[in-house]
Amino acid sequence: DAKTTQPPSMDCAEGRAANLPCNHSTISGNEYVYWYRQIHSQGPQYIIHGLKNNETNEMASLIITEDRKSSTLILPHATLRDTAVYYCIVRDQTGANNLFFGTGTRLTVIP
Amino acid sequence: GAGVSQTPSNKVTEKGKYVELRCDPISGHTALYWYRQSLGQGPEFLIYFQGTGAADDSGLPNDRFFAVRPEGSVSTLKIQRTERGDSAVYLCASSPLAGGSTRELFFGEGSRLTVL
């Protein structure tokens, strides 16, 4: 069963911030939020993950709401190479080995 | 190599044939995963190895699918009596620590299987 809900597609202008939402209203206390992306014909690539605090790395920022029922992945300055399918995943750190990918959000960065 | 390596990158076979897909994980990674991705869908979990043993094979669709990792490094996914519905990209991923850790998974580029 899907634990996350994402819009099927989004567009973003090159150079602008891309904000990708994810709903995970049934998330439990020991589940992390992970984001992966998959560029065409490649394997998925890890972007970022978090538990309850906002996180930032060289690729993106992750904003998690206080109730943890939703999150937003932010690509601050989208480039054409960011065009990909973005997957939001919740994962229990204590046992589950299975990352459930769902169908993700297809982000298209427009020149 | 620096990343997860999968061979072959493309495999075309006929219905009923036997197929083997190989995954060479990142050196030192103890955890290894197989996923299957059909067109337009996200990757679907098949099996997870911790070391040499299959710690979780709950995603294997039926007994035609089997995977091994005899020395705790390279893994082979084996599909018997292939069917057209087995056509998909088979992805392998590895991770430096056991399943359940917060470490990321590193994916290969996949093996595209086409069953005619």
pLDDT in tens, chain B (116 residues): 589 999 999 999 999 999 999 999 999 898 999 999 999 899 999 999 988 888 889 999 999 999 999 998 999 999 999 999 999 999 999 988 755 556 788 999 999 999 99
In this complex, the residue of B4, B42, B55 whose CB is nearest that of residue A97 is: B55
Please give the pLDDT value at position A31: 87
Please give the pLDDT value at position B96: 84
Do B42 and A103 lie within an 8 Å CB cutoff?
A: yes
Please give the pLDDT value at position B87: 97
Sign of CA dihedral A1, B88, B41, A20: positive
In one-letter notation, the amino acid at residue A39 is: I
Which residues on chain A are in Cβ contact (under 8 Å) with B40? Answer: 103
Q: What are phi and psi of A56, to 5 degrees?
A: -140, 140
Provide the token pair at A80: 């054409």
Integer Cα distance of B65 and B61 in angstroms: 7
Please give the pLDDT value at position A1: 47
Percentage helix, strand, coil for chain A under 3-state DSSP, each rounded to 5: 5, 50, 50
The answer to whether A100 faces chain B, any CB pair under 8 Å, is yes
Please give the pLDDT value at position B33: 93
Could you give the angle at the alpha carbon of A27 between the alpha carbons of A22 and A30, nearest 5°? 125
The answer to whether A30 faces chain B, any CB pair under 8 Å, is no
Integer Cα distance of B33 and B50 in angstroms: 9
For residue A93, pLDDT beyond 70: no
Distance from CA of A1 to the nearest CA of B (A): 12
Integer Cα distance of A73 and A106 in angstroms: 13
Query: Do A26 and A9 touch, CB atoms closer than 8 A?
Result: no
Instruction: Report the number of secondary-structure helices (H) and strands (E) in chain A.
Output: 0, 9
In this complex, the residue of B42, B44, B102 whose CB is nearest that of residue A104 is: B42
Distance from CA of A103 to the nearest CA of B (A): 5
Q: Which of A13-17, A35-39, A50-54, B88-92 has the lowest mean pLDDT?
A: A50-54
Distance from CA of A42 to the nearest CA of B (A): 5
Please give the pLDDT value at position A99: 80
Residue position matching structure tokens 């904003």: A63
What residue in B sits closest to A50 (Cα-Cα)?
Answer: B102
Which residues on chain A are in Cβ contact (under 8 Å) with B91? Answer: 43-44
Please give the pLDDT value at position A91: 83
Integer Cα distance of A97 and B88 in angstroms: 22
Integer Cα distance of A20 and A8 in angstroms: 11
Integer Cα distance of A49 and B53 in angstroms: 28
E strand or H helix that includes residue B111: strand B111-115
Please give the pLDDT value at position A96: 56
Hey, is A32 helix, strand or coil?
Answer: strand
Of the candidates A31, A24, A4, A3, the one whose C-alpha atom is nearest the C-alpha of residue A93 is A31
Rg (CA), chain A: 13
* DSSP conformational letter for B85: G
